[in-house]
Amino acid sequence: MSTIAPQLDPFALAKELSGKHFIDGAFRPAASGKTFPVVNPATGEQVAEAAYGEAADVDAAVAAAKKAQKEWAKRPARERGKLVAECGRVLDAHKEEIARLVALETGKALRTESRVEAGVLSDAFTFFGGLGGELKGETVPFNPTMLTMTVREPVGVVGAIIPWNVPLMLMALKIAPAMVAGNAVVVKSAEEAPLAVLRAIQLISTILPPGVINMLSGYGPECGAPLVAHPDVHKVTFTGSVETGKIVYKTAAEKLIPVTLELGGKSPMIVCGDADLDQALAGAIAGMRFTRQGQSCTAASRIFVHDSIHDVFVEKLKEKVNAMKMGDPLDESTDIGTIVSRQQMDRVQSYIALGKEAGGTAHVCSAMPTDAKLTKGLYVQPHIFTGVKNTDRIAKEEIFGPVCCIIRWTDYDDVIEQANDTEYGLAATIWTRDIKLAMDAVTRLEAGFVQVNQNLVVQPNLSYGGVKTSGLGKEATLEAMLEHFTHKKTIIINMK
């Protein structure tokens, strides 16, 4: 178990973690000595600095990973798994401080979002830690005189690039399986959210051999790009925007290395006239991730509601969202925190303007916080748009903010067509009591994650990932660990 005492004051912890990468089992400043500010989006105040990662830091982290990987891969798979599961226990013991820290840097409300994420972080390590023994090969009936088999081998050094919206969970779903499979990892955190990830890595490094897990903070082009391009990185797993995903894919193609890409979404939620209204409303709130300010690639941001219940659905949804409290992310009574950054806030506001220009009606919900210390906070009230079309930009493009479109429908075939009329294919839901209709919809909806009458979030053991431009490859399962973090070697022994 870790010897590091929990630090429940996120401001003090942020200062402690200031200006550091984590390389080869120890904190290390950037090679250049440069840093960049980490800002509390609820107040606009700087809470820490992060090490400014560049190519020299990437070189150091990859070299440490390369060295450590060889010995790590020699350990029995179940032993690696046990250590990763032990990481889960350490993270669980520290989950409150991790939750507070991620709330501070991202603005996600502690009670409704950050604690939930810290829970999934440790759970993912526990889940993958139990899968060491599943790294099995096969015997092949090739020839009775030739014993033919396959074994699973690690790919080597994995580069894991993560975003800011659920940085801990998305990191865990990449690094835990990668390490159990015998790889060493270099994580590149998102510029907006480097601290909680760094703390998590410091904590698990009390369990793991030095160099097996390393972390760099920095900007995409200066730090992420050299990581993808590094000749000793043999696999990249990336979650972020479609634009950056394409850049990563191109670089990986030049090197001929495999990538996993989890990209954007504009997920449809189809509510039929016979749906359980209360269930569907709860599903819209959960699916739209209002408590996370809609900052989710699976956000149910296009809600198609049958004409017969459209008006009552809109009224009741407004009522429910109005009852949610916007406030200080660290305050226990807060349901909805802030947008992560000024840049993201500008983007969200530009889409709100586009929705109005398209003739939509914005139903603005919830109340802005009144606390004087939050006046510079990046708060955007939830906007529920009606009167927009599926073809309007507000309904077509990913916003990553608390903005959803409610679109009225009457014809079932037409609504399925509209739901699929998007470049994305991450998630979709249908809400109905008609089992035949539900079965038909789940086969026709073009998405990687389709649910009926519920809107669960990603979790270990549920295959997660998109089709179309939402990504390449699925994550979060045993199969994902085998497919993405190992390669098969065929061995033939001539017995004649």
Q: Catalytic amino acids?
A: 262, 297
CB of 194 to ligand ADP, least distance (A): 9
CB of 462 to ligand ADP, least distance (A): 22
Nearest residue (beta carbon) to ligand ADP: 220
- Closer residue to ligand ADP, CB minimum distance, 328 or 398: 398
Paired residues of 146 in beta bridges: 143, 494
Tell me the C-alpha distance between 272 and 431, whole Å: 6
CB of 58 to ligand ADP, least distance (A): 11
**At CB < 8 A and 24+ separation, what contacts does 473-477 make?**
473/259, 473/260, 473/261, 473/262, 474/448, 475/173, 475/174, 475/237, 475/260, 475/262, 476/124, 476/173
**CA triple 316-317-321, angle to 5 deg:** 120
* Cβ-proximal residues to 83 (8 Å cutoff; 6+ apart), any chain: 129, 207, 208
CB of 89 to ligand ADP, least distance (A): 28
CB of 53 to ligand ADP, least distance (A): 10
- Closer residue to ligand ADP, CB minimum distance, 243 or 413: 243
Q: Considering just the CA atoms, what is the radius of gyration of the chain in Å? A: 23
Q: Site residues (CB under 6 A) for ligand ADP?
A: 161-163, 188, 190-191, 219-221, 224-225, 228, 240-241, 244, 247-248
Q: Which tokens sit at 405?
A: 């479109």
Helix (H) or strand (E) holding 203: helix 195-204
235-239 vs 35-39, strand pairing mode: unpaired
Tell me the C-alpha distance between 329 and 337, whole Å: 5
Tell me the C-alpha distance between 408 and 389, whole Å: 9
Instruction: Decide: 465 and 239 in contact? Cβ < 8 Å.
Output: no
Q: Closest by alpha carbon to 163, among 241, 110, 215?
A: 241
Cα separation values, 285 from 71, 113, 430, 478, Å: 47, 13, 14, 30
Instruction: Decide: 491 and 150 in contact? Cβ < 8 Å.
Output: yes
CB of 493 to ligand ADP, least distance (A): 43
- Closer residue to ligand ADP, CB minimum distance, 164 or 385: 164
- Closer residue to ligand ADP, CB minimum distance, 262 or 328: 262
CB of 419 to ligand ADP, least distance (A): 24
- Closer residue to ligand ADP, CB minimum distance, 216 or 416: 216
Tell me the C-alpha distance between 11 and 101, whole Å: 8
- Closer residue to ligand ADP, CB minimum distance, 327 or 465: 465
CB of 220 to ligand ADP, least distance (A): 2
Q: How many CB atoms neighbour CB 315 within 10 A?
A: 11
Q: Which tokens sit at 214?
A: 């390393």
Q: Closest by alpha carbon to 167, among 242, 244, 83, 99?
A: 99
Q: Which tokens sit at 332?
A: 């226990």
